[in-house]
Amino acid sequence: MQRAAKCALRLDLSRAFCLSRSGTVVVMQKSLPPPRDEEEKAMLDSMLRVDHAGEYGANRIYAGQMAVLSRTRTGPLIQYMWDQEKMHLEKFNEILGEHRVRPTLLLPLWNIAGFALGMILTRIACLLAFEGTMSCTVAVEESISEHYNSQIQTLMEAEPERYTELLQVIKEFCDDEKKNRDTGLEHDAESVPGYLLLKTVIQVDCKAAIYILQRI
């Protein structure tokens, strides 16, 4: 009985999220200023490449999670978060195309790795405690928020006026990710035993991925 009530509450919450979410408007304008020298172009290129690959990976992680959780009560919520990530990926695809940024060579690898990561970690979390199915989501969202934060810092330190549109995009995405993380935390993601271990594993993975992506 209690379970049914909780289930109903969660579905209500997810519906509320769907209704109140603000869509990202796809604006066809240049989000970046034309680079003034090779160095700036290289820095922006690697930043955008990492972001694009990150959103692509997040997409695949959510796909992996959905493969496990699609028929559970957290399914609709994860579907909603996945749709948001899809929007982010679309935006980055646009920016990459406009500014002739090379996508990373490792995308096929990311495809498989992300899906596997999402699926395996969610299965483990499910086995340990059904409540903790959002733990993978929370850990991933936290790493991504950290990464976006550091990028915002870099851009602000360099020249905030020059990169206003890009900063806007990154800040918006960062806020979205933080919201998703908070949602996950509300769903008792931290109740999984070994959550800290899970979180550390994912954070190390993300850092290694970012390091490689900046180069390849």
Partner 1 sequence: LCCGYWDMAALIRGLRAGRVLRGLGSVAVQTLSPQGSNVRRAFHRTILLQLVNDSKSDTSVPPPSYHEVHTAGESSSSSAHGESSEDAQPNTSFQDQSGEHGEDYETEEQLQARILTTALEFVPQHGWTVEAIAAGAETLGLSSASTGMFNNGAGDLVLHFVTQCNAQLAETLAEQNNQVQLGQAESKKTAEFMRDAVEMRLRMLIPYIDTWPQAMSILLLPHNIPGSLKHLSTMVDDIWYYAGDRSTDVNWYTRRAALTGIYNTTELVMVQDSSPDFEETWAFLDNRIKDVVNMANTAKEVQATGESVVQGLMGAAITLKNITGMNQRR
Question: Residues marked as binding?
Answer: 55, 85, 88, 141, 177
Instruction: Pick between residue 92 and residue 163 the one whose CB is nearest to partner 1.
Output: 92
User: CB-side exposure of 132: number of CA atoms within 13 Å?
Assistant: 21
Degrees, nearest 5: CA angle 180-127-204? 55
Residue of 31, 52, 69, 145 interacting with partner 1 (CB under 8 A): 52
Which residue type occupies 16?
Answer: A
Residue of 107, 124, 167, 212 interacting with partner 1 (CB under 8 A): 107
CB 22 within 8 A of CB 85: no
- Is 30 a binder of partner 1 (CB under 8 A)? no
- Is 215 a binder of partner 1 (CB under 8 A)? no
Residue of 5, 26, 29, 71 interacting with partner 1 (CB under 8 A): 71
Number of H helices, E strands in the chain: 7, 0
Residue of 18, 102, 154, 196 interacting with partner 1 (CB under 8 A): 102
Q: How far is the CB of 189 from partner 1 (least distance, A)?
A: 23
- Is 63 a binder of partner 1 (CB under 8 A)? no
Sign of CA dihedral 54, 84, 147, 128: negative
Overall residue count recorded for the chain in this entry: 216
Binding site for partner 1 (CB under 8 A): 52, 71, 92-93, 96-98, 100, 102-103, 105, 107-108
